[in-house]
């Protein structure tokens, strides 16, 4: 590519974002340099501040500027419910779409032995400490319905049941407004297995 070394480095750095390939990175770099240098400097400043100032909540492991996030530090949540999710983005999805009022535990991924991700990398020792503390009564498994997500849910379920906790799994199945002829076999199978009485 023609251009300065700094431009090439900027384009390459922009490619670290999900869904940003070489052409998108080039368009973003050119836009920032041509039309929005103040915006680029503000973005750089906010990125630096976020990288320096955002850590993880000591209780649930989501992103937080304080030792404990707002949800864990607050007093209005039902502390007997603990929803286990894979990422902080999953918390945002649940909070924006449901009336769930319990607490969370963020795994920051799922079990994947081939990638070297085991129970220690997911903080499952810390999760098990919460199981034994006596405050939690029900674990709600909200991992993704992938092979790895299901394996992770099974592992967490076994550990929670060993502590005598109630374990539930969010339902998977036909989406609202979906048509059966377009639903894949795995989703349809989950829907039939998890059917409810009406």
Domain ranges for the chain: 5-53, 63-176
pTM of the model: 0.84
Question: Using an 8 Å Cβ cutoff, are 188 and 180 in contact?
Answer: yes
Q: Can you tell me whether residue 140 is helix, strand or coil?
A: strand
Q: What integer pLDDT is reported at residue 80 of this predicted model?
A: 96
Which whole number is the average pLDDT over 117-133?
Answer: 91
Mean pLDDT of the chain: 91
Q: Residue 2 has what pLDDT?
A: 65
Give Cα 78 to chain centroid, integer Å. Answer: 21
How much of the chain, in percent, has pLDDT values that exceed 90?
A: 75
Q: CATH number of the domain at 5-53, out of 2.40.30.10, 3.40.50.10490, 1.10.8.420, 3.30.230.10?
A: 1.10.8.420
Question: Nearest 5°: phi and psi at 32?
Answer: -60, -40
Q: How distant is the alpha carbon of residue 72 from its chain centre?
A: 17
> What local confidence, expressed as pLDDT, does residue 125 receive?
92
**Strand pairing partners for 167?**
139
pLDDT for res 198: 67
DSSP conformational letter for 175: P
Closest CA to 158 of 137, 134, 141: 141
- pLDDT tens per residue, range 131-145: 999 899 999 999 998
For domain 63-176, give the CATH number: 3.40.1360.10
Phi, psi angle pair for 77, to nearest 5°? -85, 150
Q: Is the backbone of residue 170 left (phi > 0), alpha (psi -120 to 50) or beta? A: beta
């Amino acid at each position: 590519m023609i251009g300065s070394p700094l431009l090439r480095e900027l384009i390459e750095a922009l490619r670290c974002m999900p869904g940003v390939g070489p052409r998108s990175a080039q368009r973003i770099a050119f836009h920032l340099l041509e039309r929005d240098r103040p915006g680029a400097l503000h973005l750089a400043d906010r990125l630096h501040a976020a990288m320096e100032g955002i850590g993880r909540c000591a209780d649930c492991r989501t992103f937080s500027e304080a030792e404990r996030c707002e949800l864990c530090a607050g007093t209005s949540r039902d502390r007997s419910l603990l929803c286990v999710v894979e990422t902080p983005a999953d918390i945002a999805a649940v909070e924006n779409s449901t009336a769930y009022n319990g607490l969370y535990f963020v795994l920051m991924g799922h079990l994947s032995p081939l990638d070297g991700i085991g129970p220690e990398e997911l903080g499952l020792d810390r999760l098990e400490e919460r199981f034994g503390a006596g405050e939690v009564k029900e674990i709600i498994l909200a991992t993704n319905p992938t092979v790895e997500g299901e394996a992770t849910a099974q592992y967490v379920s076994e550990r929670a049941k060993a502590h005598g906790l109630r374990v539930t799994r969010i339902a998977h199945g036909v989406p609202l407004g979906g048509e059966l002829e377009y639903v894949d076999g795995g989703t349809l199978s989950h829907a039939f297995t998890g059917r409810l009485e009406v």
